[in-house]
Amino acid sequence: MTREYLKKADLTPKSDASETHKTVQGILDDIEAGGDAKALEYAAKFDRYEGNVLLTEEEIEAACAQVPEKLKADIRFAHDNVRRFAELQKSTMQNVETEISPGFITGQKVIPVDAAGCYVPGGRYSHIASAIMTVTTAKVAGCKHIAACSPPRPGVGVAPAIVYAAHICGADQIMAMGGVQGVAAMTFGLFGLPKANILVGPGNQFVAEAKRILFGRVGIDMIAGPTDSLILADGTADAHIVATDLVSQAEHGYNSPVWLVTDDRTLAEEVMQLVPGYIDDLPEVNRENATAAWRDYAEVILCADREDMAACSDEYAPEHLTVQAADLDWWLQRLTCYGSLFLGEETTVSYGDKAAGTNHVLPTSRAASYTGGLSVHKYMKIVTWQRATREGSKPVAEATARIARLEGMEGHARAADVRLAKYFPDETFDLTANG
C-alpha cells in the first residue's frame, strides 16, 4: 500500500520572500543610520504608539497591578515549570578537561552570552507564554542583561500580562516597540540598551526576516516560518481529541499547516468530518485563521503501517509532533525529526505552548531535520582551551609541523618548529612533509 492523501494541501507556507526582504532591509538600514530617532519614527508609523519605549519601574508596577491574581498564579506556575526544565538542561553542560596525551591538557568552558534580546509577539494574540519561554531560559543561562521587546497597542502599551510575565521571569528592561524596529533596537543597542549578542523569540514574517538578515552580526535562535503540527494516530485514537488538537493549532494563522498521519481510514474520515464543525465554533478571528489553514494547508495521509507513519513524519519534520497511538515507547525510540514530541492523549501541544515546561520556540518548515528548539544551550557558548608542558607539546609539535607542510602552510609549520628548537635544542627532528 502506498501513501494515500485523503486531503492534500493546495499551498505551501511561504510568503513573498523577495518583497519582505527588501522592505525589512530598508527599515534596518534606516534605523542603523538614524538611531533612536529613526526607530521612534517607525514605531509611530507601525505601532501607532508614542509612550515610553523603555518601561519605567512605575509603569511596570502599574501594568502588573492590572493582571488578575488568578492569571498571575498561572503565569508563576508556567514560569516555575519552564525554569526547572531549563535548569535541568543547563546541568547537562559542564566545564571539562582531559589529558589528551601525557603533558597535554585540553578542555571546554561553557559561558553564557552577555546580552539577550527576547521578542514577544503582541499583535493578533498576546503571547504571554513567549515572554516566559524566552526570558526564563536566558535568566537560567546566566545572561548578564535581558531585554524583552513587545509591540505596544495604541493608547494602551504592552499588554499588562506580558509585562508581568517578562518582569517576574527576569527581564532587566522591557521595551514597548514591535516589529523590525524592535529587533533593530535590541541589535544596535538603541535607547541605552547593550547590543544584543543573541535574538530569540517568535514573530511575523518581518520579524523573522529581520533576524535572518542580522544573523552573523548577532546570534539567533532560529529562522522561523509559520507554526506547524503533525499528529500520528492509529485506530486506538479518539477522533474527537484528534480533531480538537488539529483545530487548536490551525488557529495560529491562515498559513499554519496541520497534518494527520494514520493507518486507520475510519479514524481519518471521522476526523475530517468533525474538523469543520469545530472550526465554526471558534471566535471570529480564530475561526478565520483556522478555516484558511485547514482549507489550504492541511493534509490527511493514510499509511500502510506504523513504520510508514513514522517515516512519513520524519520526512515532514514537524515543529510539533503528537502521538496518539499504542506502544508509546516504540514511537519515542523510532521518531527522529521533530521540534517537540507529545506522547499520548494525556498531553497536547497546547500544554507545551503554555505551561508544561518544555520550550515552545521551536523549528518550523522542516528545520527540525537539523536543529532543535530554544533552550538554555542557545544562550551558551561552548569554548575550548589547551595548555601543555614542554615535553607534552613535543609530539603535537612534530605532527603539526609535518601536517602543515603537507598542506603547504609553511608559517604554521614554523610555529611548531621554533618551539621544538627552543625546548629541545639537543634533539634532531624530521619535520619534512614526506619521509
What are phi and psi for residue 84, nearest 5 degrees? -65, -35
The Cα 181–Cα 176 span in angstroms is 11
Q: Is 252 annotated as a binding residue?
A: yes
Residue 239 CA neighbour count, 13 Å, CB half: 13
Q: Is 412 annotated as a binding residue?
A: yes
The conformational region for residue 329 under phi > 0 = left, psi -120 to 50 = alpha, else beta, is alpha
Q: Is 119 annotated as a binding residue?
A: yes
State the burial class of residue 59 (Cβ atoms within 10 Å of its Cβ: 0-12, 13-18, 19+).
Answer: middle
320 is catalytic: yes
Q: Provide the β-strand partners of residue 387.
A: 105
Q: Is 181 annotated as a binding residue?
A: yes
Residue with cell 485506530: 235
In this structure, which amino acid lies at residue 274? L
Q: Is 167 annotated as a binding residue?
A: no
The Cα 282–Cα 170 span in angstroms is 34
User: H helices of 143-253, where?
Assistant: 160-169, 179-188, 205-214, 239-250
Query: Looking at 79, 127, 319, 360, which residue is catalytic?
Result: 319
Contact residues for 49 (Cβ-Cβ < 8 A; gap 6+): 43, 152, 153, 154, 155, 157, 176
Q: Is 127 annotated as a binding residue?
A: no
Query: Looking at 79, 145, 167, 320, which residue is catalytic?
Result: 320
The Cα 247–Cα 272 span in angstroms is 11
Q: Is 423 annotated as a binding residue?
A: no
State the burial class of residue 184 (Cβ atoms within 10 Å of its Cβ: 0-12, 13-18, 19+).
Answer: buried
The Cα 185–Cα 416 span in angstroms is 46
Residue ranges at the known binding site for Zn(2+): 249, 252, 353, 412
Residue ranges at the known binding site for NAD(+): 119, 181, 204
Question: Catalytic site residues?
Answer: 319-320
